[in-house]
């Protein structure tokens, strides 16, 4: 294998000049640059990245630790991370904890897996990554996770009390408020809620947003209009069945995710009703299938890719000492208007 010294001897220049050409750290004449690059190509020179990282005390590798790559927001978040890192010299080392099968939809039990999470962070540190982005598969407040020694970490799709650890997530409660107000502006006053798992942080935040919108509009919420599901299709169908069996049924339903909303669709059809003529339905998450069901579902789109991009930006800023301020970013969502809502 050729070395930088070999390249310098063949080109008749100093080793420092070869370094300037290869790393772009200092301008050299076009003639010298062309001569060096031709020899590099001819000799198939490969830089010693290990030696370089030891000199720089950096590997230019970012560790991305995901709770489960199959979790709904995770692929888009990771894509956003990669999109931002494509602009610079950093590469990604991805580690998948595969927690989805262990948890199913009981995200409140994630605290049981703190030990394997912390072991994975230690492995990332031992791999000499320059920083870590921890990607949660369920938006929540995280406690007990090991903070890496001597390298920065950023949470994506989660928040934390650690002042030294930035986080990026989305406006959960505010988005639930806005989608509820979307129904209220269409003159709906009997609005029911099909909620997610009662132990879920997401469900609690979205419930708060729903309640706040109804309160601000001066609307009553019968206790029977709040139905607790578990984020799954069948629970959406079953809870909607109960709503439609009431003597005074709702004119609109807010399902806390698109999967439960499709369960509501099936229930409404089973009862001989149509959407949105007889009842309006809105969801949350803007899953891909939401645009293809009949009628297409009005829902909330999460900024998953932007969460990844901002997390990568915050981490690089801390690695390169451009920004050391503690930051907790909360990104806005947007309502995707489709055909499942009709005014009274």
Q: What's the average model confidence in pLDDT over 255-261?
A: 98
Whole-angstrom Cα distance, residue 337 to residue 327? 32
Q: What is the pLDDT of residues 198-221, one digit of tens each?
A: 888 889 999 999 999 999 999 999
Whole-angstrom Cα distance, residue 169 to residue 225? 29
Q: What is the pLDDT of residue 108?
A: 66
Q: What is the pLDDT of residues 282-328, one digit of tens each?
A: 999 999 999 999 999 999 999 999 999 999 999 999 998 766 666 89
Q: Tokens standing for 311? A: 């997390």
Q: How many CA atoms lie within 13 A of 145 on its CB side?
A: 26
Q: What is the pLDDT of residue 54?
A: 46
Q: How high is the mean pLDDT of the chain?
A: 90
Confidence of residue 15 (pLDDT cuts 50, 70, 90): confident
Q: What's the average model confidence in pLDDT over 64-89?
A: 93
Confidence of residue 238 (pLDDT cuts 50, 70, 90): very high
**Is residue 2 over pLDDT 90?**
no
Beta strand 252-255 pairing with 299-301? unpaired
CB 2 within 8 A of CB 23: no
Whole-angstrom Cα distance, residue 78 to residue 91? 13
Q: What's the average model confidence in pLDDT over 234-256?
A: 97
Place of tokens 């609005």: 191
Q: What is the pLDDT of residue 50?
A: 47
From 167, 129, 163, select the one nearest 148 (Cα to Cα). Answer: 129
Which residues partner with 335 through β-bridges? 300
3-state class (DSSP) for residue 125: helix
**Is residue 55 over pLDDT 60?**
no
Q: What's the average model confidence in pLDDT over 247-263?
A: 97
CB atoms within 10 A of CB 48: 12
The DSSP result for 224-246, as a single string, is GGEEE--SSHHHHHHHHHHHHTS
Cβ neighbours of residue 215 under 8 Å, at least 6 residues apart? Answer: none
Q: What DSSP character marks residue 298?
A: B
User: How far are the Cα atoms of 89, 107, 111, 112, 259 from residue 103, in angstroms, in the given order?
Assistant: 36, 6, 11, 10, 18
Q: What is the pLDDT of residue 11?
A: 86
**Is residue 245 over pLDDT 80?**
yes
The DSSP result for 276-288, as a single string, is TTT-EEE-SB--G
Q: How many CA atoms lie within 13 A of 234 on its CB side?
A: 0
**Is residue 246 over pLDDT 70?**
yes
Place of tokens 């099936």: 266
What percentage of residues in the chain have a pLDDT greater than 90?
A: 63
Whole-angstrom Cα distance, residue 153 to residue 149? 10
CB 242 within 8 A of CB 191: no
φ/ψ of 8, rounded to 5, equals -60, -45
Query: How buried is residue 319: exposed, middle or buried, by Cβ count under 10 Å (0-12/13-18/19+)?
Result: middle
Q: What's the average model confidence in pLDDT over 57-64?
A: 84
Q: What is the pLDDT of residue 322?
A: 66
φ/ψ of 141, rounded to 5, equals -90, 125
Whole-angstrom Cα distance, residue 283 to residue 281? 7
Q: What is the pLDDT of residue 326?
A: 66
Q: What is the pLDDT of residue 105?
A: 64
Q: What is the pLDDT of residues 150-197, one digit of tens each?
A: 899 999 999 988 878 899 999 999 999 999 999 999 999 999 999 998
Q: What DSSP character marks residue 134?
A: E
Q: What is the pLDDT of residue 162?
A: 83
Confidence of residue 48 (pLDDT cuts 50, 70, 90): low
As a 3-state breakdown, the chain gives helix, strand, coil percent values, each rounded to 5, of 45, 15, 40
Q: What is the pLDDT of residues 62-76, one digit of tens each?
A: 999 999 999 889 999
Q: What is the pLDDT of residues 98-148, one digit of tens each?
A: 988 887 666 667 777 888 899 999 999 998 999 999 999 888 888 888 888
């Amino acid at each position: 294998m050729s070395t930088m010294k070999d390249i310098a001897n063949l080109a008749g220049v100093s080793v420092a000049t070869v370094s300037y050409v290869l790393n772009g750290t200092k301008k050299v004449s076009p003639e010298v640059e062309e001569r060096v690059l031709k020899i590099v190509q001819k000799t198939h020179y490969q830089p010693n990245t290990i030696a370089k990282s030891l000199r720089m005390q950096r590997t230019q590798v970012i560790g991305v630790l995901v709770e489960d790559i199959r979790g709904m927001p995770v692929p888009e978040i990771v894509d956003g991370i990669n999109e931002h890192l494509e602009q610079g010299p950093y590469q990604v080392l991805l580690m998948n904890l595969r927690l989805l099968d262990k948890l199913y939809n009981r995200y409140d039990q994630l605290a049981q897996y703190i030990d394997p999470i912390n072991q994975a962070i230690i492995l990332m540190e031992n791999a000499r990554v320059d920083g870590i982005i921890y990607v949660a598969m369920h938006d929540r407040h995280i406690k007990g996770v090991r903070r890496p020694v001597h390298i920065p970490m950023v949470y994506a799709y989660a928040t934390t009390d650690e002042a030294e650890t930035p986080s990026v997530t989305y406006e959960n409660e505010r988005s639930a408020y806005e989608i509820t107000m979307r129904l209220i502006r269409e003159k709906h006053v009997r609005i029911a809620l099909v909620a997610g798992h009662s132990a879920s942080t997401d469900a609690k935040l979205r419930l708060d947003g729903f309640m706040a919108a109804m309160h601000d509009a001066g609307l009553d919420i019968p206790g029977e209009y709040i139905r607790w599901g578990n984020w799954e299709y069948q629970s959406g169908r079953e809870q909607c069945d109960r709503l439609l069996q009431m003597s005074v049924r709702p004119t609109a339903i807010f399902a806390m995710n698109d999967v439960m909303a499709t369960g509501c669709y099936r229930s409404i059809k089973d009862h001989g009703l149509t959407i949105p003529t007889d009842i309006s339905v809105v969801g949350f998450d803007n899953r891909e299938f939401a645009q293809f069901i009949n009628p297409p579902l009005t829902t909330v789109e999460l900024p998953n890719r932007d969460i990844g991009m901002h997390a990568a930006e915050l981490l690089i800023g801390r690695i390169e000492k451009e920004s050391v301020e503690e930051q907790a970013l909360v990104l806005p969502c947007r309502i995707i208007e489709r055909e499942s809502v009709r005014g009274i």
